[in-house]
Structure 1
Amino acid sequence: MSDQAVVETATPSLWASLPLPSSAAEWIARAEQVAEILAEDALARDRANQAPHAEVQLLKDSGLVTLLGPAAFGGGGQEWVTALAVVRTVSRADASIGQLLGYHYLWAWAVRLVGTEPQIAAVEELYTTNTLFFGGAVNPRDGDLTISEEGEELVYNGRKSFSTGGRISDLTVLEGVLDGTETHIFVIVPTDQPGIQFAGDWDNLGQRLSESGSVVIDGVRADWASAAGFENKVYLPLTYNSLNVPLVQQIFSNIYLGIAQGAVAAAAEYTRTTTRAWPYGGDNKQEATEEFYILSGYGELQSKLWADEALIDQVDRELSAVLHAEREALTEKARGDVAVRIAAAKLRIAEDGLEAATKVFELTGARASSNKVGLDIYWRNLRTHSLHDPLPYKKREVGEYVLLGALPAPSWYT
């Protein structure tokens, strides 16, 4: 069986005769079906490190891609609290695909974050009716793309060292600065065009199928009319526009929780079926599941993850409520209050998740370090993505909020 055989044989017939889920519980159940398929060969696909075209097709066939799309255009019409739960569910089985799906949801919502009402309607109809998948070339650590103005067209040029979604996306979000100004402009363009050149150079420790390699943008054109949030070439800002960063940070929290939950579940199954009791401790047990230190270890890890899950669930609900409220109603304080809660959730699950992904080796035994077991995939994935931005700055944001009442200032990372 080839590395991608399980995913590739998961044909649309699984769901072709079924209507889209109609409730949050049904959508999460659909995500669990997808996760079961992905889990079958997640390790083999990770090692093969091929562009996950079949995996993204699976997301499309299952309907998950249009979960947030308006029902009027054939989408699920769901809220963000459900989308975040779906990202977490998929990430338990394959965190790379969970990341791709989370970023897709982010960029699909980007037009609501910064667009005008006509732009929102046009983009949501386009991606929902055609089941299109989003990627984005908006890494803020690199220099901005440059934008030149040619009549009624904007022309983008530059390079980004990270571009999640890459070769498997149908639409790409670009961001740059207009020449001679400090004006940032977002546009959504078709991915399949000569001016977008992906290097295919993502070869990292973890999240290996997230298609996060570099991209060169060479003369990509977009109409001024598609510049998100602009009317007559003038941008009218709202506090709501700055929710993109808190939103992506909370997507991260759900990816990390999914990884940690997956690690503990996989380790527990190995302990139940394979780990042997230690015969030299003076308190010999027949089964590993009777060992005090193993029971204690799993108890500690699961207690922390339950606490993290409770916090993340609550913050998911808080953020979802903000995202689905009237855009004009969002205040700087409300934005800051939810952003600091997101910072707290992220730093907590990043640290506890890394502990879980490491501690599981102590609870499973030496033979569990075999490459064929593959427990390393959880630590590799979480360690890689949790380096996205330094946790000490999240701790500082929470500390300043508690001690000084200071709200996190909107930036590319807060």
Structure 2
Amino acid sequence: MSTAAHTDWQHRPAPATSGAWVDRAAEVAAVLATDAAARDRAGATPYDEVQLLKDSGLVTLLGPVEHGGGGQDWPTAYRVVREVAKADGSIGQLLGYHYLWNWAARLVGTREQWEHVEAEAARNRWFFGGAVNPRDNDVVVRDEGDTLTFTGRKSFSTGSRVSDVTVLEGVLEGSVGPDNPEGDHVFAIVPSDSAGLTFHDDWDNIGQRLTESGSVTIDGVRVPWSAAAGYVDKSFQRRVYNTLNVPTIQLVFAHFYLGIAAGALETAGTYTRTKARSWLHGGHERAVDEPYVIDTYGDLTAKLWAAEALADQVAEEGWALHSDPDAVTERDRGEHEVRVAAVKARATDVALEVANRIFEVTGARSTATSEGLDRFWRNIRTHTLHDPVAYKRREVGRFVLTGELPEPTWYS
């Protein structure tokens, strides 16, 4: 991957509008697309790819303008993730997770905490990773007076070795009880090279190969109490807005699924136009004139456009909640989660269908490893197993039939 053609990014003014930021993301995607299949096969740690995100300014998209950030909103961030994911699903995921963890201080922390984090992140172009796999509950946070120590292990830590800072999460020792079965969770941001933080090179899945999502060991990583997000005098300041992290990250998922699907359709379309052969018994000289080929592209594109439109609409609805955090009610949050669940369900189904059916209109030779068309399906299939889509449909169905709102959990 060569970034030489875009070294002038750092000497050009930052984009000033949402559309200009999406255009910048398209420039980044064009660089990533040049060797996406080869990089997927190599599976190397994506240091250069993350540097590309930094050089282009995309990592600072949500940061405050006065500190060098883009000052943009979440609907723009989702569109940027989708654009990058067209070229490389792994890098789209890394960027989307980065945006969430960058914003996490605002979701969970006090104003003083998140203003400090966002200023430092924008000035230094931090890239965020997160050791916050909710199904691993073995990270213990011990109160040691003025400091806290995190100790345990997480199965997944997306962004691990390419991150500058990592969000840690664990349960405060002694906080679990009959009235508090889940205990008090503590989030803190630490440098990724902190003593006691060991990232393991054990991510070996069929898709999203460049996301650095391997396991991590956390051995007595020390932070001051002042870094415990949302805690004041060792007491967590609860707001409904704290629970908006799940619908926000689930929308990140949906958008990079749709981005990968769009990339699959674009790549397949180029192959059909330039390499695919018409069927010898079909009576057409070109593959692009085959009625079944035309119909398939029309069908898949219509489904993708519909899913993208829904995803964009729900992103705007979510931004209304982010814009006034203190006003978010439980009903606001619950209804938004139902809408997000619907987006996640449709994005999953449409993306899987697109990535599977493109082979029907590209032909047998398109399955060559050198073409790399399989990476789109592998990437979507891998991440859509993050949590069962049936439970997303259940949230929607229960709301429609009974008005029931989903309770905030790590997955809803």
Pairwise TM-score range, normalised by the shorter structure: over 0.9
Q: CA–CA distance in 1 between the matches of 2:253 and 2:102?
A: 16
Q: Structure 2: how far apart are the matches of 1:139 and 1:163?
A: 7
Match of 2:45 in 1: 51
| Matching of residue 155 in structure 1 with residue 149 in structure 2 | yes
Q: Is the 8 A contact 1:174 1:187 kept in 2?
A: yes
Greater shift in the superposed pair: 143-152 or 82-91: 143-152
Matched with 2:57 is: 63
Q: Within 2, Cα distance between the matches of 1:320 and 1:212? A: 28
Separation in 2 of the partners of 1:167 and 1:340?
Answer: 34
Structure 2 counterpart of 1:274 = 275
Where do 1:5-404 residues align within 5 Å? 6-7=1-2, 9-10=3-4, 13-181=7-175, 182-281=183-282, 284-325=283-324, 327-404=325-402
1:10 and 1:376 mapped to 2: Cα distance?
Answer: 29
Cα distance between partner residues in 1 of 2:390 and 2:11: 49
Which consecutive residues of structure 1, in runs of 5 or more, have no partner in the other structure? Answer: 1-5
Cα deviations by residue, 1:247-288 (Å, 9 ceiling, x for unpaired): 00000000000011111111111001111111124xx11111
Using the alignment, how far apart are the partners of 1:309 and 1:185 within structure 2?
A: 35
Task: Report the Cα offset of residue 10 of structure 1.
Answer: 3.6
Alignment-derived partner of residue 3 in structure 1 = none
Instruction: State how far apart, in whole Å, the 2-side matches of 1:210 and 1:11 are.
Output: 25
- Residues 88, 20 of structure 1: CA spacing in aligned structure 2 closer, same or farther, 3 A cutoff? same
Native 8 Å contact 1:135 1:173 kept in 2 = yes
Deviation at 1:110, TM superposition (A): 0.3
CA deviations 1:316-366 (Å, max 9, x no partner) are: 1111221122x2100011111111111001111111110110100011111
User: Given that residues 140 and 171 in structure 2 are in contact (C-alpha distance below 8 angstroms), is that contact kept between their aligned partners in structure 1?
Assistant: yes
Give the letter aligned to residue 158 of structure 2: T
C-alpha distance in 2 between matches for 1:89 and 1:120 = 27
Measured in 2, the distance between the counterparts of 1:52 and 1:90 equals: 14
Q: Where do 4+ consecutive residues of structure 1 move more than 4 Å?
A: none
Counterparts of 1:364 and 1:288 in 2: how far apart (Å)? 9
C-alpha deviation, 1:200, in angstroms: 1.0
| Counterpart contact for 1:106–1:248, Cα < 8 Å | yes
Deviation at 1:121, TM superposition (A): 1.4
Would the aligned equivalents of 2:137 and 2:171 in 1 still touch at CA under 8 Å?
Answer: no
Q: Distance in 2 between matches of 1:234 and 1:148?
A: 14
Number of aligned residues: 405
User: Within 2, Cα distance between the matches of 1:236 and 1:141?
Assistant: 24
Give the distance between the partners of 1:359 and 1:80, measured in 2 at CA.
Answer: 31
The root-mean-square deviation of aligned C-alpha atoms, in Å, is 1.0
Q: Which amino acid aligns with 2:397?
A: G
- State whether residues 10 and 37 of structure 1, in contact with CA within 8 Å, keep that contact through their aligned partners in structure 2: no
In structure 2, how many angstroms separate the alpha carbons of the residues matched to 1:173 and 1:42?
28
1:271–1:363 CA contact under 8 A, matched in 2? yes
Paired residue type of 1:275: A
Distance 1:129 1:166 in 2: 21
- Cα pair 2:139 2:153 within 8 Å, conserved: yes
1:69 aligned partner, one-letter code? G
User: Could you tell me which amino acid in structure 2 is paired with residue 159 of structure 1?
Assistant: R
TM-superposed CA distance for 1:12, in Å, is 6.2
Cα deviation, residue 155, structure 1: 0.4
Q: TM-score when scaled to structure 2?
A: 0.97
Deviation of 1:144 after TM superposition, in Å, equals 3.7
Amino acid at match of 1:302: T
Work out the CA distance in 2 between the residues paired with 1:322 and 1:228: 20
Residues 37 and 12 (structure 1), Cα distance of their counterparts in 2 relative to 1, 3 Å cut: closer
Aligned residue for 1:159, secondary structure, equals strand
Gaps of 5+ in 2: 176-182
Per-residue deviation, 1:11: 6.9
- Name the TM-score, length of structure 1 as normaliser: 0.96
C-alpha contact 2:133 2:154 (8 A) present in aligned 1: yes
Mapped contact 1:159–1:215 kept (Cα < 8 A): yes
Tell me which amino acid in the other structure corresponds to 1:294: V
